[in-house]
């Protein structure tokens, strides 16, 4: 009786064949990170970056090739009906944990921003037990964003910050437009998801295409924002703690937007090939979850980096 209960509760769990994909992916990732690290060291030392660039591109090519074939294998297995319901649940849990790790990733950077604004800058201005620093930089103004850094020989102080300038200049404020664009893309990807669940392929394709287009526009505007910050405002990575936190948070978010846009583009290509069913479309669903996460992070960035 006990044996019958167990066999009726659990399904046959599909175990994929042995694969060399993890080994090749690790090699590609190692070469990519190693090459990038060497490029940064070469730039710092003002030497040529030719060899480091080759290593980086080789690692990227290996990693990209492995991921393409790995995901293609997973898609092919799913079309063959091999994964069981239990295995599909493990995909869902894996995506949950991946997004959670990303939340913790950005939480660390937002925590650093909070620490700097709440404690470090006031201490430099002479507040509290660390007020002795006021003797070193008596003219330092403890105001955020930090425009006039102590030790001008070390930092390149910017002329202006990227902070919100008020509603009078709202139409020309790129971060506001990026916020509108990214929030709109979250709505369009939801409409695409609704179309998929209703088996409306035209709605799915149309709204997903709009989502990818909005993602590309966001990235273009962010590049324009960086050019404006560097060349017109004098805000660079060498502009002290404000420049470091600004480019760290917005830069990593831009990388995540790029990754999310690529994921959505792959989903669009799969859609055009007739992939996904109303009852079986976790690949699309996972990409949409990730895109919503990217949107939420940007809202936090817009509020705490640009507005407050």
End-to-end CA distance of the chain: 65
3-state secondary structure of 10: coil
d(CA 112, CA 51) in angstroms, rounded, equals 34
Of residues 196 and 42, more confidence is placed in 196
Which domain does 56 fall in, by range?
A: 11-83
Q: Which residues pair with 245 in a beta bridge?
A: none
- For tokens 């709109």, the residue is 184
Does 178 map to a domain? yes
Residues 52 and 125 in one domain: no
Tell me the per-residue pLDDT of 145-202, one tens digit each, with 9 for 90 and over. Answer: 988 887 666 788 888 888 888 888 888 899 999 999 999 999 999 999 999 999 999 9
Query: What's the structural domain count of the chain?
Result: 2
Does 141 map to a domain? yes
Residues 70 and 101 in one domain: no
CATH number for the domain spanning 54: value is 1.10.287.70
d(CA 4, CA 79) in angstroms, rounded, equals 30
Does 3 map to a domain? no
CATH number for the domain spanning 290: value is 1.20.120.80
Residues 144 and 250 in one domain: yes
Residues 37 and 168 in one domain: no
pTM of the complete model = 0.86
Tell me the per-residue pLDDT of 48-107, one tens digit each, with 9 for 90 and over. Answer: 778 889 999 999 999 999 989 988 988 888 888 888 888 888 889 999 999 999 999 999
Residues 75 and 92 in one domain: no
Q: Is the pLDDT of residue 268 over 90?
A: yes
Whether the bond between 259 and the residue before it is cis, its omega within 30 degrees of 0, is no
Report yes or no: 86 and 13 within 8 Å, Cβ to Cβ: yes
- For tokens 């996972």, the residue is 286
The confidence score (pLDDT) of residue 227 equals: 93
Residues 53 and 182 in one domain: no
79: how many CB neighbours lie within 10 A of its CB? Answer: 10
d(CA 199, CA 273) in angstroms, rounded, equals 15
Domain end residue (candidates: 50, 83, 116): 83
- For tokens 């990575």, the residue is 237
> CA-CA distances (angstroms) from residue 88 to 30, 198, 212, 288?
29, 21, 26, 17
Residues 59 and 116 in one domain: no
Q: What is the DSSP letter of 125?
A: T
Residues 102 and 15 in one domain: no
d(CA 163, CA 229) in angstroms, rounded, equals 11
176: how many CB neighbours lie within 10 A of its CB? Answer: 18
| Phi, then psi, of 5 in degrees rounded to 5 | -65, -40
Q: Is the pLDDT of residue 247 over 60?
A: yes
Domain end residue (candidates: 34, 51, 83): 83
């Amino acid at each position: 009786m006990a044996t019958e209960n167990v066999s009726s509760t659990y399904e046959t769990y599909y175990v994929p064949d042995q694969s060399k994909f993890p080994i090749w992916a690790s090699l590609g990732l190692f070469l990519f990170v190693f090459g990038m690290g060497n490029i940064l060291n070469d730039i710092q030392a003002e030497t040529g970056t030719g060899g480091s660039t080759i290593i980086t591109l080789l690692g990227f090519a290996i990693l990209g090739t492995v991921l393409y074939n790995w995901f293609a294998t997973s898609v092919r297995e799913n079309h063959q009906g091999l994964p069981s319901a239990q295995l599909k649940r493990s995909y869902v849990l894996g995506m949950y944990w991946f997004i959670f790790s990303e939340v913790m990733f950005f939480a660390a950077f937002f925590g650093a921003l909070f620490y700097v604004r709440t404690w470090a800058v006031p201490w430099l201005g002479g507040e509290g037990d660390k007020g002795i620093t006021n003797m070193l930089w008596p003219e330092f103004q403890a105001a955020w964003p930090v425009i006039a850094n102590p030790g001008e020989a070390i930092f390149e102080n910017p002329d202006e910050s990227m902070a919100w300038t008020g509603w009078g200049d709202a139409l020309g404020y790129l971060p506001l437009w990026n916020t509108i664009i990214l929030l709109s893309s979250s709505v369009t990807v939801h409409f695409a998801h609704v179309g998929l669940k209703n088996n409306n392929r035209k709605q799915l394709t149309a709204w997903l295409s709009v989502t990818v287009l909005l993602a590309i526009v966001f990235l273009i505007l962010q590049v324009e924002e960086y050019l404006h910050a560097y060349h017109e405002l004098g805000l660079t990575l060498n502009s002290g703690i404000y420049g470091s936190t600004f480019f760290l948070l917005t830069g990593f978010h831009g990388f995540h937007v790029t990754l999310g846009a690529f994921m959505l583009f792959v989903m669009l290509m799969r859609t055009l090939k007739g992939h996904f069913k109303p009852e079986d479309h976790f690949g699309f669903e996972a990409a949409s979850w990730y895109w919503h996460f990217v949107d939420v992070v940007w809202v936090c960035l817009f509020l705490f980096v640009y507005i407050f």
